[in-house]
Amino acid sequence: MIINKIIARKILASMGNETVEVTVNELFTASVPAGISAGKYEIKKVSPDEAISQIGQIERICHGKDWTQETLDAEISSHNFGGNATLAVSAAFFKAHFQFPISNFQFPKLMLLLFEGGEHGNKNITAQEFLVIEDTIDYARKNFKITKEYLVANNIEHTVGAEGGFSPANLDNQGVLDLIKKVLPGGKIGVDMASCFNKSQIPQNVFSVEDPYSDESWSDWTNLTKLNKYLVVGDDLTTTNPDRIKKAMELKCVNGVVIKPDQIGTISQAKKAVQVACSGGLKIIVSHRGEETNDTWIVDFALQVEADFVKFGGMDRGERVAKYNRLMELGMK
């Protein structure tokens, strides 16, 4: 596609901070999120004003030339631009070419956010996320509603956190786990620990464990994965970075990785991270970020890379619901 015009502007993300939205050729518009708890190995971001200035430079570099996703991303990545500037352009270009898979396709499973804490909500809940694994949006919707009805009926605070999950002030990690098991018996539970536990505190009887240790505690990760008890998922450890994913695979640190394109800066680089992870048999979890917009290109990306799971938050914030609605628009029940 020949790029003739790129327009950038500031918009608001879900926490009230500014982010960047880009329109390519007056037709294809994409905005980028920001992470509340960003890993230190993520690509650097710049202020929205600086991103807009850099996108002006990208327009001058790209104007009038015919690009594929790969050649465009390679070019804009070769300069010292912020990841939020490059991804905004890359995602808008991606939107122009997205085609929904039409054969032998299965929708990913949902990692539905039920409760959140840490930097995202109530500090008594030190784990960042408690999720349940759902096969369909209909089941996810019903279970989210059942959980809210239980909280209301039992006079438990049901304030929501940054990503649309419940964050009661009077519950801690164990209280959340007990509640989920009571309300949704038999449900597969996932926990994003955000490096907040030591080994003795890892919850038992959960399906997946994300970021149980710090991003340099490689041996701890390996020892946990060797137990073969959990889907051990890297996020801050791997940061959608092909090199760090390769290292994690070599050390047998994980059997799943979170993919967030804004951690690496372009659609093509995020796809490369997926390819590396798939070559080692890792499960792919495509994820939103803490500060989100109403844009839904992350859903299309997840479908194109055939993600095993997606994390789009709870169902009590509009920017999260937008992602579920996009899945429904594309045929997920």
Q: Which amino acid is at 296?
A: T
Catalytic residue list: 163, 260
The token pair at 155 is 């006079």
Check if the beta carbon of residue 304 is closer than 8 Å to that of residue 259.
Answer: no
**Secondary structure class of 118 (helix, strand, coil):** helix
Q: Find the helix packing angle between 83-97 and 48-62, rounded to 10°.
A: 50
Long-range CB contacts (within 8 A, 24+) of 196-204: 196/118, 196/126, 196/127, 196/128, 197/126, 197/127, 199/223, 199/224, 203/173, 203/174, 203/177
What is the C-alpha separation between 31 and 157, in angstroms, rounded? Answer: 33
Check if the beta carbon of residue 127 is closer than 8 Å to that of residue 193.
Answer: yes
